[in-house]
Amino acid sequence: MRGLNKIKLKEITSKIGSGATPRGGKNSYKSEGISLIRSMNVYDSAFEYTDLAFINEMQAKELSNVQVERNDILLNITGASVARCCMVPDNILPARVNQHVSIIRIRQEMANPRHILYCLISHQYKQKLLAIAQGGATREALTKEKIEDFEILVPSLSNQHKIASILSAYDDLIENNNRRIKILEEMAQAIYREWFVNFRFPGHEKVKMVKSELGMIPEGWEVAKVGDLLWKIERRPRVKKEDYLKQGEIPAIDQGAEFIGGYTNDHDALHDNPLPIIVFGDHTRIVKYIDFPFASGADGTQLLYPENEELMPAYFYYTVKNIDLSSFAYARHFKFLKEQEVLIPDSQTLKLFNENVGLFLKQTSIFRKRNDVLRKTRDLLLPKLISGEIDVENMNFTGRA
């Protein structure tokens, strides 16, 4: 390809290396402190904050050789998520990585880190990385030597900056929408806690509190088990992660941390009625509110239908979402979820909550749809830009590089 030069990653990097899990494993993690990045946090061109772990200063000192710096590329090097990569977000620094994540630190006088990131997540290079990882003797893995010797084609540094700016503009819009989604989620959660945990719902001053299995609750409210509220539980045919498409007709709901894991054209896996619906990951404990046709994208996905239509959609979603299942045995979360006792408010309060918070959920859905369009557009442009099919030489694009 004219204007592109073949290089190995070791020629343009000052560091390639993974970290370790602090002594004591998960039990040694802290509620706050220095970020410890794990493979579950790293998605292609996206960092997932859910379940971000933290360590203290002493633990971080033991991992000082894998301190993450601004503009570092994070690459998953083992397991099912091998070859996923993203740029480290500034707001989690200082940070370290565990043994499943490698730091790729680009020498910025030689290459643009974002351009290299976009190369690594492109279909062309992703397939090469996956092929290398699957060539291991025991399990999917990318060793330091394999990463160092990985070859890519790059244009001039000035053109790298232009390409990175164009693609970053899409990622910036996506990130802005994600921040709006987070704010809406926090607002909805705050209302839920205020109304149904602190019992400061509209008109609470006139309501008498009475005893119940869950302590003092407003008169007229009831207590029920989650399982008793469900008239139907369904498990749909799932789309295996290895069968995910980059583009497709039906989004596959990923029971990992990311909302949509990929796409499929398998209409036998389609779920489109009734919507919205609550999706619960039996293995992951993740609860999702889905208001668009989808396919189940992971084993253990449960589709929950409340018997009482008044519970849907907002109240039932936030009620299930606020149940703490962290202490229950792995792969048996749904069994315990059904046994959890929850509050059933009076119909007037339920209706008011669903109307108010339902607006937040609708706005969240709009932002997610916008992000889907932005990702698809970016992913269409990406291979054309990094291959040189779209010539940026004479472009005067300005933006983040």
pLDDT tens profile 53-71: 999 999 999 888 889 999 9
DSSP 256: S
Of the candidate ranges 90-94, 283-287, 311-315, the one whose mean pLDDT is the lowest: 283-287
Q: What is the pLDDT of residues 211-262, one digit of tens each?
A: 999 899 999 999 999 888 877 666 666 777 777 777 788 888 876 656 777 7
Are 138 and 12 members of one domain?
A: yes
Rounded distance between C-alpha atoms, residue 25 and residue 40, angstroms: 15
Whether the per-residue pLDDT at 391 is higher than 80: the answer is yes
Determine the structural domain holding residue 301 and report its residue range.
222-344
Percent of the chain with pLDDT over 90: 52
End-of-domain residue from the set 344, 362, 377: 344
Among the listed residues 255, 234, 233, the one whose alpha carbon sits nearest the alpha carbon of residue 244:
255
Please report whether residue 159 resides in a domain.
Answer: no
269-294: average pLDDT? 80
The values of phi and psi at residue 22, to 5°, are -55, 155
Whether the per-residue pLDDT at 154 is higher than 90: the answer is yes
Are 148 and 226 members of one domain?
A: no
Find how far residue 65's CA is from the centre of its chain: 27
Sign of CA dihedral 37, 41, 43, 45: negative
Q: Which residues, in sequence order, are bridge partners of residue 262?
A: 252
Please report whether residue 393 resides in a domain.
Answer: no
Helix (H, G, I), strand (E, B) or coil at 308: coil
- Would you give the end-to-end CA distance of the chain in angstroms? 23
Q: Is the CB of residue 219 less than 8 Å from the CB of residue 207?
A: yes
Residue 295 confidence (pLDDT): 85
Structural domains of the chain, count = 2
Please report whether residue 368 resides in a domain.
Answer: no
- Helix intervals (H) in 122-156: 123-133, 144-148
Please report whether residue 197 resides in a domain.
Answer: no
Q: Which residues, in sequence order, are bridge partners of residue 53?
A: 36
Are 23 and 139 members of one domain?
A: yes
Please report whether residue 340 resides in a domain.
Answer: yes
Per-residue pLDDT band for 137 (boundaries 50, 70, 90) equals low
Among the listed residues 111, 47, 39, 45, the one whose alpha carbon sits nearest the alpha carbon of residue 77:
39
Please report whether residue 210 resides in a domain.
Answer: no
What's 38's domain CATH number? 3.90.220.20
Please report whether residue 319 resides in a domain.
Answer: yes
**Length of the chain (residues):** 401
Residue 236 confidence (pLDDT): 62
Q: What is the pLDDT of residues 4-47, one digit of tens each?
A: 899 999 999 999 999 888 888 888 899 899 999 999 899 888 89
Are 231 and 310 members of one domain?
A: yes
Are 125 and 239 members of one domain?
A: no
End-of-domain residue from the set 344, 371, 394: 344
Find how far residue 325's CA is from the centre of its chain: 20
Whether the per-residue pLDDT at 263 is higher than 90: the answer is no
368-375: average pLDDT? 91
End-of-domain residue from the set 299, 324, 344: 344
Structure tokens, 330: 């792995």
Rounded distance between C-alpha atoms, residue 64 and residue 103, angstroms: 13
Rounded distance between C-alpha atoms, residue 115 and residue 86, angstroms: 11
Are 227 and 318 members of one domain?
A: yes
Please report whether residue 372 resides in a domain.
Answer: no
